[in-house]
Structure 1
Amino acid sequence: MTKILLVGCGKMGSAMLVGWLQRGIRAADVVVVDPHAQALPAGITVIGDADLIPKSFAPDITILAVKPQVMAGVLPAYARLAGQTTFLSIAAGKPVAFFRQHLGEAAAIIRAMPNTPAAVQRGITVCFAGGGTDAAGQALAQSLLEAVGEVAWIDDETQMDAVTALSGSGPAYVFLLAEVMAAAGVAAGLPADLADRLARATVAGGGELLRQSADSSAQLRINVTSPGGTTAAALAVLMAESGGMAPLMEQAVAAATRRGKELAG
């Protein structure tokens, strides 16, 4: 009978909502605040702003799923719930101190960073519990986030920018890999549709093998690399100390981490 207030129902909010309903949360126990929400499951109460929250509705948890750029303008309307609900934010870059500034010191706040594979229940979310969040609130957040994938917790909030850079932004890196693999296939002489199909299936299949295997990613790479073979020839380029994937990825994650820190301002 958990009562959930979902503020913002874009792609991530919608993915979580579907996961909750599949896990047995009743539609009648969810209120969505989003003036632009469309085609939500039957039974969900949808309202345009916080003033329309039914007076009889007391949320156990309030999920803040709006864009970080508009969060400051959204939060004041929910300050009245501080002390009555656990706030769970999935906004990139916004620290616990930011939410305390707008919701008050009494607010129980959990900061979380999910990623887009949540849409297919294959996401991973990393959480940080701010002071004032009790074990029950953390357990509830864990349960709801597990509906869309794995959950991990950190004790040091400063690590959240690196988490965002690695797993939050990470799906885009994987999609880019499939994109450039397909383009390379076309450059090597394959039809575009076949190159795209091969790249998608290879990235998706490789990811599933990685998920199911007890071997490390390094060992799986070694397993598919015959000495002197075609894979070894390709990896000699991709693993070059200068211009290879490792230094490029390090630079990319560092750039995303810096941007996350900027968003905190």
Structure 2
Amino acid sequence: MTIEQRIGIIGGNGWLGSAIASAAVDSGAVDPARLTLSGRSDLSTFPAIPDVHRTNLNAELVERSDVVILSVGPAQFADVRIDAAGKLVVSVMAGITAARITERTGAAEVVRTIPNAAAAVRRSFTPWYATPPVSASNKALVQALFEACGEASEVPEESHIDYCVGMTGSGAAFPALLAEAMIAHAVTHGLPRAFAERAAAGVVAGASQLLARPGADAARIVQEMIDYRGTTAAALLAMRERGFDEAVAAGLAAASAKAAAMSKA
């Protein structure tokens, strides 16, 4: 789907705003001439996308856009003062409720999303929630925009977005944490760091593609490995015995709690 509406990204020079902009243009979903980016820093820091309009003025961006994407940190949201009445407003901020966004921007149609760092390589899984006033055509627009960044899926309740702050938002960093732990262990056993880094990246980034196959089932893959009773089974059982599942659950809960705290700030 090619998006015909004019898109504006407030915070378009940040890492996530830049990733969304680049993915949308590179995929062909958005004509760069219909894209506006705003930010508070020097315009030279914006992504180098030909034909994109750049500005330091959020009001100018809103005027030029049919869809306004809020890609700022939750702590900076209080400094965003725009009148987006009649526009579709899409938030990528953790913890800021749709009601607060409507109150501050004047927009009736609000969508909350949680993309992650993998948007930079068009591999983000992005859940999104639309408030009741959002039209079917605007829902299709949101789906197309975030499919340009990887995969996207609507959730039926706003509370699901707050949970996904941990699972799909923060979760993009979890493979790096696993790789870091693997590298550290390998180095303590005498393996060269350069080799350990390549090996860990190959396992985490490469072997994880097993889950990308049609019909892949994570629980089934794990159980099959355990049932084989080999070296992989020994590793999996040892990790679980030492609290692997509990550690992951604690991380997801901590991210959700942080999001809830942000919503009250």
**TM-score, structure 2 as length reference:** 0.90
How does 1:1-265 map onto structure 2 within 5 Å? 1-9=4-12, 10-24=14-28, 25-36=30-41, 37-53=45-61, 57=64, 59-74=65-80, 76=81, 78-79=82-83, 81-83=84-86, 85-104=87-106, 106-225=107-226, 227-240=228-241, 243-265=242-264
Separation (CA, whole Å) in 1 of partners of 2:110 and 2:228: 52
**1:155 positional shift:** 1.5
Corresponding letter in the other structure for 2:72: V
Give deviations 1:100-143, integer Å, cap 9, x for gaps: 22123x52110111111111111111111113211111111111
Corresponding letter in the other structure for 1:259: K
Q: 1:232 to 1:39 in 2, by over 3 A?
A: closer
Separation (CA, whole Å) in 2 of partners of 1:228 and 1:140: 48
Separation (CA, whole Å) in 1 of partners of 2:62 and 2:221: 53
Query: Contact conserved, 2:110 with 2:130, CA < 8 A, in 1?
Result: yes
**TM-score, structure 1 as length reference:** 0.90
Aligned partner of residue 148 in structure 2, secondary structure: helix
Separation (CA, whole Å) in 2 of partners of 1:215 and 1:30: 37
**1:54 positional shift:** 8.6
Corresponding letter in the other structure for 2:149: V
Give deviations 1:159-198, integer Å, cap 9, x for gaps: 2221111110001111100100111111223111111111
Corresponding letter in the other structure for 2:148: A
Aligned partner of residue 112 in structure 2, secondary structure: strand
**1:225 positional shift:** 4.7
Give deviations 1:44-87, integer Å, cap 9, x for gaps: 110001244496x3x2211111111101211x2x22x311x100
Query: Contact conserved, 2:128 with 2:153, CA < 8 A, in 1?
Result: yes
Separation (CA, whole Å) in 1 of partners of 2:214 and 2:60: 49
Corresponding letter in the other structure for 1:90: V
Of 173-182 and 130-139, deviating more is 130-139
Give deviations 1:191-246, integer Å, cap 9, x for gaps: 11111111110001122121125231122234445744322222221111xx3211
Corresponding letter in the other structure for 1:5: G
The number of residues matched between the two structures is 256
Superposed CA RMSD: 1.8
Corresponding letter in the other structure for 2:77: M
Separation (CA, whole Å) in 1 of partners of 2:99 and 2:138: 18
After the TM superposition, list the runs of 4 or more consecutive aligned residues in structure 1 that deviate by more than 3 angstroms.
51-55, 222-228
Q: Percent identity, aligned pairs only? A: 30
Separation (CA, whole Å) in 1 of partners of 2:214 and 2:32: 37
Separation (CA, whole Å) in 1 of partners of 2:227 and 2:249: 27
Of 6-15 and 226-235, deviating more is 226-235
Separation (CA, whole Å) in 2 of partners of 1:171 and 1:153: 19
Q: 1:27 to 1:227 in 2, by over 3 A?
A: closer
Q: 1:29 to 1:232 in 2, by over 3 A?
A: same
**1:14 positional shift:** 1.1
**Residue segments in structure 2 that go unaligned for 5+ positions in a row:** none
